[in-house]
Amino acid sequence: MNDIGKRRPIASPAPAAGADHKPAPLGGFPRVRMRRNRRAAWVRDLVREHALAPSDLIWPVFVVEGTKARQPVPSMPGVERLSIDVLVEQAAEAKHIGIPALAVFPQIADNLKTQDAREATNPDNLVCRAVRALKKAHPDLGVVCDVALDPFNSDGHDGLVRDGKILNDETVAVLRRQAVVHAEAGCDVIAPSDMMDGRIGAVRDALDAAGLMDVNVLAYAAKYASAFYGPFRDAVGSSGALKGDKKTYQMDPANTDEALREVALDIAEGADMVMVKPGLPYLDVLRRVKDTFKMPTFVYNVSGEYAMLKAAGQNGWLDAERAMMETLVAFKRAGADAILTYHAIEAARLLAKAKS
């Protein structure tokens, strides 16, 4: 007698050769073998849940005065401050490999940094000139500008300082002007990163009153008082100037419910997109923000995160390329729609290579 036509009971799997077979509970091993979907690249490709694309990336760049200038930032291996002409050339590559937008950060000459941060609202400041040059050469490339006073302030703080206190409402009045000046220079996305209260609504109103209603507002909504900004402050030259810390305006790293309140306020005040910053140490915040508000949610993979990875890579302690891609996909997994990262060009090049 043969077995054809004889049904095997559903609950009893084929016995392993030679094994003393005991039926497994439905759904369990050995019927279920998770490794089957991992056994070859083609099947891993098919079952992959999250994908990183160049179109997810925003490239933060540092701009300096001069021409043909490229100044390496020692605490950020591979990152350079660029003069406007070089920046415009580099932007061509970014666009070519599919990066949708840049974020411009200036290193302002020390003699232009004042207590009233007046250079921040000069329509001919370094940021405005960089934005005009970028938009002229690459009209289709998005340009994001930070709105905060730290690069322009002799105190190194994001707000105006009086008697050691960071002034909220006086700062917001300057931020409104800074936002309008940057947007008039051609900036597409105004990104207040200062964490003053009420600034998103104030900036939105100022833009609208100036007829700039199409300019987006990206709120650094949940921005923490983090040790991971150190290399950035070297890059923009604000670390020497900074007196004290930013704990009276940036968030306490121990809080998440507070992040949700911050984000809710910024949305109510008219933010088009919200951001969580830093990235890797705050993936839980990113996930909660995305789940709660379902807003376009960005994350900033900040300078210190970049520096750690590069330093370990340079020491041969880890494979920096793989660690970079793993980091970036972690942001997608945690709910990010877009990622500001100093790895943008390198990652986009790798993605292009993997495709070809």
Per the CB < 8 A criterion, the answer to whether 335 and 290 are in contact is yes
Q: Which long-range contacts (CB under 8 A, 24 or more apart) does 45-51 make?
A: 49/333, 50/329, 50/332, 50/333, 51/329, 51/332
- String marking each residue 274-313 x if it binds ligand PBG according to CB under 6 A: ----------------------------xx----------
Kindly state the smallest distance separating residue 146's Cβ from ligand PBG, in Å.
Answer: 5
Counting Cβ atoms within 10 Å, is residue 110 exposed (0-12), middle (13-18) or buried (19+)? Answer: exposed
Kindly state the smallest distance separating residue 192's Cβ from ligand PBG, in Å.
Answer: 9
Q: Where are the beta strands (DSSP E) in 48-126?
A: 57-64, 70-72, 80-83, 101-106
Kindly state the smallest distance separating residue 292's Cβ from ligand PBG, in Å.
Answer: 24
Kindly state the smallest distance separating residue 348's Cβ from ligand PBG, in Å.
Answer: 18
Residue with smaller CB distance to ligand PBG, 85 or 116: 116
Using the structure block, give the residue that is written with the tokens 């061509």: 92
Read off φ and ψ for residue 255, nearest 5 degrees: -110, 140
Residue with smaller CB distance to ligand PBG, 185 or 302: 302
Kindly state the smallest distance separating residue 290's Cβ from ligand PBG, in Å.
Answer: 21
Residue with smaller CB distance to ligand PBG, 13 or 126: 126
Dist. CA 68–CA 174, nearest whole Å? 32
Residue 158 binding ligand PBG, by CB under 6 A: yes
Q: Site for ligand PBG (CB under 6 A): which residue of 119, 150, 262, 266?
A: 150
Using the structure block, give the residue that is written with the tokens 């200062």: 194
DSSP letter for 332, please: H
Count of residues interacting with ligand PBG (CB under 6 A): 12
The residues in 40-69 that bind ligand PBG, with binding defined as CB under 6 A, are: none
| Residue 277 is among the residues annotated as catalytic for this protein | yes
Counting every residue written for the chain, the total comes to 356
Catalytic residue among 223, 290, 310, 332: 223
Read off φ and ψ for residue 217, nearest 5 degrees: -115, 120
Residue 146 binding ligand PBG, by CB under 6 A: yes
Residue with smaller CB distance to ligand PBG, 188 or 194: 194
Contact range with ligand PBG by CB under 6 A, out of 26-34, 93-101, 119-127, 226-234: 226-234
